[in-house]
Structure 1
């Protein structure tokens, strides 16, 4: 079922949700009119293949056609997003992002620096307390688990664990989907590698993970290139460590050329939460809030699910029979997620600090675009 079909089926239901959660119709009307006057929403770091964002953005445009979506640097990392806010504090032009989609560890840091403004969506009460900042400065949006995407036209034996990646048969094949000095996805891949060696999430996982990548690099198996769907298809990076939703989306996009397989490593099932936030300096604050309302409505959440992400309101949607069966059937088997570990914000922060500061000294591989 397409996101546009979902939008049409759920439009009436969405209005009911807003009312049920205490967002009066006139408040939404005022928000819509404010956004209409602004005429634009500026996003950043939202590649269309990530978490189904292409269809999510298309659904938002269809619902609010008066807004132009200005998409900045789709391949930016979380650190790049915050730098864009800092660099454009006094700039109300099109280079200033309104909204952010960042790794969990970046939310509290951005809040402490005064880069975020609080806002609570109408469905606020259905977002788990542990996945949101109490005053609405940031709030969880979706999560996935770390996985391997493998080009099976090139790789004969699909690795099923991080330790497998050290085997000589994978020489010049393994890459990260980001730079571990700036990309949340890559930073947490290092955490997962450390956990695979028995380390607890946090500083310990960072140290063990950095040692793993040092060994991988010294063995000649690590490719210091930011991996994308294209680099895997071309054979530059036949094995990519990435979030499952990215890996599954890329696999589908290949349509069998090349043949590809996604597997969750047996020695570490790391779940990672991303968060949404509105820039404290957003040039279009009403459009930003309207975007958040859409993302956290049933239709927005199901749009992410269609892109293989588990939306933060997933349990609430399932409990209320709002998830179409075909979307549930398209997800990987539930048992793949049973051993998933959700690190605390303190553990994520400790791991992030140790990885970003230690990568160059320990691993010594300069990851390039």
Structure 2
């Protein structure tokens, strides 16, 4: 959520204004999504959020059952929560639109679509959970692999992909090219079931509705991590499990990617992306678990705790145009050119810092007042 809120710093704009500067180029690249294959730090926002949903589920189920909740009551709560997440995602994507924008690739919507299945998987034995994960990823991979490639000479510009786009893949990996894959074809049918401003031809970023299926796989990986945290194993054993699992997942994903069997593409959440990003999430979890619960450095985590304890509020703040309102208000009171104190190149950063600070202070106030928005 901090990375998402920090988009207001617009580091990529600074990098563009300072060509040849490797430092800003590195920061700008990691605050941007990669065009297709590969991964930047920014690409880890959505899988990290999804992973933590799975981590929290064993604790959530145990806590509600301890209060006497039945399976039926838990399932009802799950379905209501899923519906709220889906509708909230659609609402956020509809801001400043002339009508409701029925799109389902928002992070909250993806989680909402998969959450009922995660709940049912979470109620099963761990062996069943592993089998479900394997079947889910292999089945999704097979569906893409069997979907026919576009004919020779196909005009990719009709689906929003420039002719000769450098990120298009050849051979078997072409089954996962932008907007010519199974999930893109599904959306050209599915999204027309809803009222639209104009016919849906393609998603400019290549994002698809069906990505909620492998996103469920990411949440299941988080479920395994949650079981480990909830178990009675020693901290060292937990960290060892996180690191070994993360290394294995990244290694398998890299093998699938470089052999062309299944490329790592976040935008359509390929099964190899589920494994790769899940592996990185295990690494992140190992580090933060060690830092807070083992080494005991909880005080330095306060800035992140303020955001994490109100993750839904942070998501809405970052995605609902609030940053633009704050920035406009700052211009009103400080002048349109207040960001140029260090020159034009750094203006986006200078303007973004107080916006990010004010957003964090809102969350800090909520934290101090114990106002926590939960679904």
Q: TM-score, normalised by structure 1?
A: 0.24
Which structure's residues are more often helix, by fraction?
A: 2
Which has the bigger relative contact order, CA under 8 A and spacing at least 6? 1
Which structure's residues are more often strand, by fraction?
A: 1
Q: TM-score, normalised by structure 2?
A: 0.24
